[in-house]
Amino acid sequence: MTARRSRPRLRLPPAVVRAGAPPPVQQPTVVHFHGGGYCIGSARTIRGWAAHLSAQAGCRVVLPEYRLAPEHPYPAGLQDALAVTAALEGPVVLSGDSAGGGLALALVLSMRDQGQGMPAGCILLSPWLDLGRDRRGDPGLVRRDVLLTPDWLDACAHAYAAPEAWADPSVSPLLAVHSGLPPLLIQAGTSELLAPDAELLAASASAAGTDVTYTRWPRMWHDFMLQPGLLAAADSALAQAAWFVGTVTAGLA
């Protein structure tokens, strides 16, 4: 994996995206963690999606930067995520795409296990939830995924944590007990390598009594929902996310 310049802990304050003028009353807050295999990416890449969500849901969207592997492996990113959410007030919905979805769910689990106040809900877009899963087990899915490869996921998994840590639920939150969680919105495409993670989480969390909304879009690729205004499927996914934010935060402001 190409070496990257070290990123200090929370070097930059989280970006805040708010469509239009601030309302006279407190807005719900969505905290979204960007994807990139825990190794690449930036909150800047998600601002378009955040602006669309803010406009439709009447919320503000906080976009944290978190330390990236390999310079800063687990638990650095999770520690940064905990620090960001601890500084927020009012109704909060956690969110994340790809590895950011795994980070968001790991954060919710940490908050639950530490007895902290829980977020109003959690949005998981094409989440990467099991770092140890053999992604070569479904050759047809490998062929259909136009963005991810098993080799790249393996490289990112090794950069983020040692293989013996992959079974830790704070690294692979699919392996956790999924009871006592806030409502979950899980979205995925059927033509992405991470589709099994979304489906397995939906089944596990539902069986554990968690309120789960799980939607999958046929023939859509990894993170397609981040392209509202360009794809009808992404527009549909965004509208569902806005509905979810409004539903889980109703009456909490």
**Residues classed as catalytic:** 98, 192, 222
Q: Which residues pair with 213 in a beta bridge?
A: 185
Query: String of b and e for 190-208 (b: at least 16 CB within 10 Å)?
Result: ebbbbbbbbeebbebbeee
The DSSP-derived string for 142-179 is HHH-SS--HHHHHHHHHHHS-GGGTTSTTTSGGGS---
DSSP string, 52-64: HHHHHHT-EEEE-
User: What span, in angstroms and rounded, lies between the C-alpha atoms of 6 and 17?
Assistant: 26
Q: CA 183 to CA 202: how far, in whole Å? A: 11
64: CB partners within 8 A, 6+ apart: 10, 14, 31, 33, 43, 80, 81, 84
Asked whether 165 and 144 are in contact (CB, 8 A), the reply is no
